Structure 1
Amino acid sequence: MSRNGFQPEVLDGIVNYCAGNGIQIHSIMTHFAAAWDNPAFTKLQLETFLNVAAKYRPRGIKLHVANSAGTLLGYGNDLDFVRPGIAMYGLPPDTKQNAIDMYNCLGLRPLLSWMAKPNLVKTMTEGRTVGYDNTHRCEEGEVIATLSLGYADGFNRLLSGKGIVTTENGAECPVIGRVSMDAISVRLPCQEDKYSNFFIIKNDYTSPNSVVNLAKMLHTITYDVVTSLAARLARVYARKGVIYTTRT
């Protein structure tokens, strides 16, 4: 991958240096650069790694290579460890349909939902504008909810005017106007109960506000969406529908 570590041709010298200086080696590893998208390169990378590292395995040194994509696609699963990362959270390393189909076949699902309640619901008159820069102009009778979250929480500003949040019954509510630092506005299909819960991120693969579809909309990857969520967001941890701890 040529990011950290060292090139294959210097491995023997590194091992000899460690042996000569009393440094015990636990593992030799590499990290796949394109396990999901480029099988030819991935097989070459694995072959290159094994050509230089396999001779150390009989000495008790562990070898491992398989990230989430490698684990799922079978690259290096016969070594000493696998290192699934994002797969443990039910999120695919790629947003293409074949990745979603594989996850569904394996019975995986995203574990993360982001939910919020509106702090204000109001009915607008025709011509009123919403948010910075007047980018949304209301029609008569539009029902607008304000949610206390924004780009400071990890709701990307690029979702201005095109993001979707959903109600608990699945109704889609478009984000209108600019995403602010601490607030977004959404258009409701009707005068929803202002204490209703809204899904900012839905824990499936198909909703418009799933992590997969948010990544597609933002032309990025699922990792980027979820690692952007701010530390200030309250966390609620549940197992089989039962809350066992919270962090605020």
Structure 2
Amino acid sequence: MIRPTYCEINLAHLKINCRGLSRKTPVIAVVKADAYGHGAVQIARTLEKEGVNFFSVALIEEGIELRKAGIKSSILIGGSVYPFTNFREVIKYRLTPTIASLESGKSLSEISRAPVPVHIKVDTGMNRIGFAVTGAYDNIIKLSKIKNLLIEGIYTHFPSADTDRKLTLNQAGKFRNLIKQLNKAGVSPKILHASNTAAERFVINTCTHIRPGLGLYGLKPYPSYSGLKPVMSFLSRIVYIRKIKRGESVSYGGTWKAKRNSVIATLPAGYADGVRRELSNKGSMLIHGSRAPIAGRVCMDMTMIDVTDIPGAHVGDEAVFMGNQGGESISASEIADTCGTINYEICCGISCRVPRVYVSKK
């Protein structure tokens, strides 16, 4: 590592979160989008050693990356496989595809020479992909009769488990009723899953597994959620300090002007790294456990902060964009609130320019 900007990934916290989430129900660990920016290969290796034997990704490429890295556990492709010729890669790398249409099921059957485990996606209200729950029974019965399709699992997804209890329970009821109907018809998949981290609080007796993503990484699905330990910290160091006079401006456009003689520190990370430009003149960083406000617009490669009230600040001091320092903390959720987005996007948006450094600190 040359530039002193990096993400520290605490694998001890990952293990603690996983153990808490899997306390009652086995998990299908979601490691899509490079494990929400945490590094899918290292996260999957760690969780596999913890006993996790099923992972979920969004893309075939993500599944192939894990296989090439030596992951032996089952890997669900949560997105649609298209074009259908990509089923050849699914079969080659022993991935578990999502079947969300009769066409995709038939295409897989035509390509495969042996039974392939599949998970069928049922849409209970997300209106994204999957068989509409109203017609899912007939379609799944048809799929169950297609050669070389082994229906290992059926699943759905709750779009508002963090905010709408009534809707979520209604969706769960629809899913439960569908599974009962299928069981009566002799279709009884061994794996059923619906709950993401936010829905983990709902007891959905139909399901055999939960499918957490956010919670594994210590990110809260809603403010009152407790018991999680953040896995990622986003860190850098001061590389330059300048004293400026009252009335002088900082960064592009001169949007920040000093109201007093001030001390400005420069950090070697900007919006190309994942320091959101929306934080310009609004966010803050931690220096010596105190908040230093961002001064001016966040640049592509650098961010300036006002350290006037932190007299001990020097070149080389650690700066925390996200994480804990000296009893103070800045969470992904706080940053997301300031930027008008969600904590998922904050972590996923930290770019590949920023190295991930893996540690184990309890």
Note the residue ranges of structure 2 that are not aligned, 5 or more in a row: 1-125
Which piece of structure 1 moves more, 232-241 or 143-152? 232-241
Residues 152-163 of structure 1 correspond to what in structure 2 (within 5 A)?
Answer: 152-163=272-283
Deviations for 1:153-191, whole angstroms, at most 9, x for unmatched residues? Answer: 111111100110011x31110000111111110011225
- Contact 2:192–2:206, Cα closer than 8 Å, also in 1: no
> In 1, distance between residues paired with 2:179 and 2:199?
18
Aligned match for 2:197, one of 59, 68, 81: 68
Give the letter for the 2:162 counterpart. Answer: W
Say whether residues 1:30 and 2:156 are aligned partners. Answer: yes
SS of aligned partner of 2:175? helix
Residues 107-118 of structure 1 correspond to what in structure 2 (within 5 A)?
Answer: 108-118=228-238
> In 2, distance between residues paired with 1:128 and 1:158?
22
| Superposed displacement of residue 55, structure 1 | 3.6
| Superposed displacement of residue 129, structure 1 | 1.5
> In 1, distance between residues paired with 2:196 and 2:229?
18
- Contact 1:124–1:139, Cα closer than 8 Å, also in 2: no
Partner of 2:215: 87
Partner of 1:216: 337
Note the residue ranges of structure 1 that are not aligned, 5 or more in a row: 242-248
Partner of 2:74: none
Give the letter for the 1:176 counterpart. Answer: A
Number of equivalences: 230
Partner of 2:130: 5
- Contact 1:43–1:75, Cα closer than 8 Å, also in 2: no
> In 1, distance between residues paired with 2:155 and 2:357?
35
SS of aligned partner of 1:165? strand
> In 1, distance between residues paired with 2:279 and 2:209?
39
Residues 1-248 of structure 1 correspond to what in structure 2 (within 5 A)?
Answer: 1-22=126-147, 23-57=149-183, 59-61=187-189, 62-71=191-200, 73-76=201-204, 79-94=207-222, 96=223, 98-99=224-225, 103=226, 106=227, 108-139=228-259, 141-167=261-287, 169-188=288-307, 189=309, 190-203=311-324, 207=328, 209-240=330-361
Which structure has more relative contact order (CA 8 Å, sep 6+)? It is: 2
Give the letter for the 1:179 counterpart. Answer: V
> In 2, distance between residues paired with 1:208 and 1:79?
36
SS of aligned partner of 1:91? coil
Percent identity of equivalent pairs: 29
Aligned pair in 2 of structure 1 residues 82, 55: CA closer, same or farther (>3 Å)?
same
Give the letter for the 2:174 counterpart. Answer: T
- Contact 2:219–2:343, Cα closer than 8 Å, also in 1: yes
> In 2, distance between residues paired with 1:191 and 1:137?
23
| Superposed displacement of residue 231, structure 1 | 1.2
SS of aligned partner of 2:298? coil
Partner of 1:245: none
Could you tell me the TM-score, scaled by structure 1's length?
0.86
Runs of 4+ in 1 over 4 A off after TM superposition: none
Partner of 1:246: none
- Contact 1:123–1:144, Cα closer than 8 Å, also in 2: yes
| Superposed displacement of residue 208, structure 1 | 6.2
Deviations for 1:103-161, whole angstroms, at most 9, x for unmatched residues? Answer: 1xx3x221111110122112112332110001122255411111111111111111100
- Contact 1:32–1:67, Cα closer than 8 Å, also in 2: yes
Give the letter for the 2:321 counterpart. Answer: I
| Superposed displacement of residue 56, structure 1 | 3.4
| Superposed displacement of residue 16, structure 1 | 2.4
Deviations for 1:7-61, whole angstroms, at most 9, x for unmatched residues? Answer: 0122222222222221111111000111121111111000011111234357440
- Contact 1:109–1:203, Cα closer than 8 Å, also in 2: no
> In 1, distance between residues paired with 2:243 and 2:315?
12
- Contact 2:141–2:187, Cα closer than 8 Å, also in 1: no
- RMSD (Å) for aligned C-alpha atoms: 2.0
